[in-house]
Structure 1
C-alpha cells in the first residue's frame, strides 16, 4: 500500500496575500457600487433640477410677450407644426414695443424657441389651455398629436396648465428615446395661466456621462489595486516575519539550544507569544541546568552510597566467612566477631534510616505536621535530651534564654531533631571537660538560637560543604557518622523558613545560628 501523498502546505504569507487581495477586490466593488448608486442618483437629480430651472426661465420669458394684442392673421407656415390656430391661449397677442413691429410675434417666438433647441439639444413644446399645440419642434421622432400622448403625459400637461411645475419621464414612448420632461405654466399680463411650456431632454447623454465616470472609477480602482498588491505582499511578509523567527527559535530549542531568543519587540499578541517563547527558552535552560545538576548529584549520591555500604558489607562478609569456615574457634574471638557484625548492622540501619529521612524531606509533596508551640520549650527539650550524651564526655550544656515565651508554628518533632543533630555534632567534636553554649535571644522581632562549642572547628575549605550529603570528616570522632545529619537539618530548616548561619575557627570552635521568623509573644 502506497503511503498517502503529503498535503501541499500553503504558506501563511500567501494566505494573507490572498486575503488582502480579496478584501481589496470586495472593497473596490462595494465602493464602485455605492459610487454608482449615489452618483447616478445625484446626476439625475441635478439634471432634473437644471431642466426645471430652464423650463421656468422659458415660461417666464414667453410670458413677457403677452403684453398687447397680436395681428389678426395666421402664424407663418414654418411655425404651424400641428394645428393652425390664430389665437394663442385664447387671447390676441402682439410683440412687445421694444421689438421691431414689422416682425410678427410668431416669427420672433419661433426664432427664440429654435435658438433654445439648438443650444440645449432639447425639444420644446408650447401648448395653450385648449390643449392645442402651438409649437412642437420634435427632434427625436415625428410630429405629435395631442391624442397620441400617453396618460402620464396628459397628466403632466394638466398639472402645468393648473400652475404647477412638473418634472417627469412620461413622454419617452412618444419621443422614441428615454428622456426627461419638465413642464411649467405660462401666465398672461393678468396673471392667468393660459398655456404651458414642455421641455424634453434626452437622457442618453446623461447615461454616457455616468458611464464615463464609472469607467474612470473602475480604471482608477484597478490601477490602485495594481499598486496595492505589491504593498499587500510586502505587508504579508512583514506580518509573518515574527512567525518565522519563532519557528527558528522552536527548532533551535528542539535541538537543545536554549540560549536562543526571538528578539521580537511588539506590543501585541504576537509580541506576547514571542515573549512567552523567550521565557520558555529561559526556563528550559534553567531546567536543563538543574537536570544536569541533579544528574550529577545523583551520580555522586550513588557513588557515596556505594562507598558507605562497601565497608560494612565487606566487614560483615569477612566476619561471616571466618565464622562459617570454622577458622575462628576461640569463643572470645567469636564474640568479638559477633559484636563487630552487630555494630556494622547498627550502622547500616542508621544509614538506611537517614537516607529515608532525607528522601522524605526532599520530596515537596511530603507534608510535615504543623502546630503552634512555645519555642523556649523546644530549646529546653532538645538540651535536656542531649545532656546525658554530653555528660558521658564530661561536657556541660549551658542554656541561656533571654526572651519571654514566644509561639512558633512548625513541626515540633522535626525541629527537635534538627537541634539534636547540631548538638550531637557539637558534642562529638568537643574535647572532654568542655562546654557547649545554647543562647536564645531576639532582635527586630526575630528569634535567634546560637549553639556554640569550643571544639576542633572546621576549615574554610570544608565549611562550604558541611550541608552536602555524605560529607563527613573521616576521623576517630566521626567513625559512626553517616554524613547525612546536617543535610537533614538543613532541609528541616528550609521547610520552616529558618535560615542557618555557620561560623567556625579552626581549633577554636564552631557556632551555628538559627533565625526563627514569624514568632509571636505569648
Structure 2
C-alpha cells in the first residue's frame, strides 16, 4: 500500500505543479505583454500630448534664440523630459539641456520626412552617448501650414523596464508560493486518500484470510466511503454465507449420522434374523413368524426413511403439484384421530377431537393436509407418556386454525427453533424405542408453505407442546383475486 500511496502522491504532485507552473507562466507572460503594450501606449500618448503643448508654447518662434532656449529649459523642467528641435534639413538646432553634444547632428531621414509632412512619429532609439534606450516622439514645429521643423521629446524607458522586472519577479514569487502551496495540498490530499485506502487494504486482507467479522471504519462520505461501505456489505454477506455453510455442514453431518443410524439399526436387526434363519437356529414355526414380523417392521422403517427423503426433496425442488379442492377439516381430523387411537390407547393416552361447528372449508390438497396432521399426531403419541392429545380446529379471519396439543415431554428453548430443520431430532439419544427420521416437521413446513399457510409451535419442557398451523379458506383466495 505504501507504493500506492507514493504513486498517488507523485501523480497529484505533478498534476498540481504542472497546473500551477503552466497556469501562472502563461498568465504572467500574457500580463507582461499586455501590460508592456498598455504602458508603452500610455507613455506614447502622454509624450505626444506634451510635445504638442511644447509646440503651442514655442510656435511663435521661427528661429533659435535665447528666449527659445530658455523656454525649452523651462518646459524640460515642467515635463521632466528632454526636448530637441530640428530644422527643415533634419539637423538638431536647439536642445533643452545645456552643453548638449547632439546639437548640429541630423535625425533620421524617415523621421524628419514624416514630421515635415505634418505627421507624428514614435520610435525607440538607442542614442549614442546614452546608456539607456529612450522613447522618442516627434511632432511638427510650427503654426498651421507653417512648419519650421520638428520637436522631439525623449524619455528614458528605464522606469518602464524596471516595472516589468518587478512584475516578472512578482510572478516568479507567486509561482514559487503556488508550488509550495501545491506541495502542501498534495501532501494532505495524498494522506487523506491513502490513509483510508490503507485501512481498506488491511480489512480486505483480513477478510481474504477468512475473518469475515472484520469491518472497514471510514468516516468519509465520498467515493472512498462508498468503497468502504461496499466492502462492509460484502463482508456481511460473506459472513452470512460462511455461517450458512457451517450450518449446512452441521445439517449434512446430522443427516449422515441420522441416516446411518436409521439404516444401520434395521439392517443390523434384519441381518441377524436372516443369519439365524439361514443357519437353521430357529426351528419353531411361531418363533420364525416373529422373526419375519420384526424383519417386516424394520423394512417398513427403511421404506419410511426413503419415502420421507423423496418427499422432502420433491417439495424443496418444487416437483410436487398440489391437487387443491374444498376440504372439510373436521372429516380429515376425525380420520387421522381414528388411525392413531389404538396406538394412543395402548399407551393410556386420551385422543380428543374438538372442532367448531359449521367451519368453512379450506382450499387444499386433502392427502397433504392429512399428512401434516399425521406427522403432528405421530410425534405427539411418540413423546407423550401420560395425559391426552387434543386435536382442535377453529375459524380465524380467512384461515382455519388447526392445533395438535399434547401433555408430553416438551421441547427446550434451545431446540424449539430447530425442530423445523431437516434431520433434527429432539429425542436424539434419549430413547431407542422412539424411532423417527427427523424429516416429518421439515416436510410439514414445506407443505404449509405450499398452501400459503402459517405455522407456530409453543412448548414447555415437562408440560407439553402445541403445534399450530393456519390454512387458508376459500374466502382467502376470493379476497386475493
Distance 2:249 2:255 in 1: 10
| Alignment partner of 1:386 out of 336, 339, 349 | 336
Check 1:479–1:16 CA distance in 2 against 1; reply closer, same or farther (3 A cut).
closer
Distance 1:262 1:304 in 2: 42
Quick check: 1:401–1:441 contact (8 Å CA) kept in 2?
no
**Mapping of 1:368-379 within 5 angstroms?**
373=324, 377=327, 379=329
Unaligned runs of 5+ in 1: 1-8, 77-103
Quick check: 1:439–1:449 contact (8 Å CA) kept in 2?
yes
SS in 2 for 1:461: coil
Distance apart, 1:31 and its partner CA: 0.9
SS in 2 for 1:28: helix
Answer yes or no: is 1:31 the counterpart of 2:20: no
Check 1:225–1:396 CA distance in 2 against 1; reply closer, same or farther (3 A cut).
closer
* Stretch of structure 1 that moved more, 417-426 or 304-313: 417-426
Check 1:489–1:322 CA distance in 2 against 1; reply closer, same or farther (3 A cut).
same
Distance 1:304 1:460 in 2: 19
Answer yes or no: is 1:484 the counterpart of 2:439: yes
Answer yes or no: is 1:43 the counterpart of 2:36: yes
Distance 1:507 1:134 in 2: 135
In structure 2, what is the equivalent of residue 149 of structure 1? 109
Quick check: 1:55–1:198 contact (8 Å CA) kept in 2?
no
| Alignment partner of 2:356 out of 373, 379, 400 | 400
Check 1:387–1:231 CA distance in 2 against 1; reply closer, same or farther (3 A cut).
closer
Unaligned runs of 5+ in 2: 346-350
Distance 1:126 1:344 in 2: 141
In structure 2, what is the equivalent of residue 93 of structure 1? none
Distance apart, 1:497 and its partner CA: 5.5
In structure 2, what is the equivalent of residue 106 of structure 1? 68
CA deviation vs aligned residue, 1:468-506 (integer Å, no higher than 9, x gap): 535265999975543321232123335656332234578
| Alignment partner of 1:245 out of 184, 187, 199 | 199
In structure 1, what is the equivalent of residue 64 of structure 2? 75
* Stretch of structure 1 that moved more, 425-434 or 319-328: 425-434
Check 1:262–1:429 CA distance in 2 against 1; reply closer, same or farther (3 A cut).
closer
RMSD: 4.4
Quick check: 1:407–1:521 contact (8 Å CA) kept in 2?
no
CA deviation vs aligned residue, 1:174-201 (integer Å, no higher than 9, x gap): 889866443445663xx66746534344
Distance 1:59 1:423 in 2: 126
CA deviation vs aligned residue, 1:376-409 (integer Å, no higher than 9, x gap): 526367447636515656867554365545768x
**Aligned residue pair count:** 460
SS in 2 for 1:441: strand
Question: Normalised by the size of structure 1, how large is the TM-score?
Answer: 0.72
In structure 1, what is the equivalent of residue 51 of structure 2? 58
Check 1:417–1:125 CA distance in 2 against 1; reply closer, same or farther (3 A cut).
farther
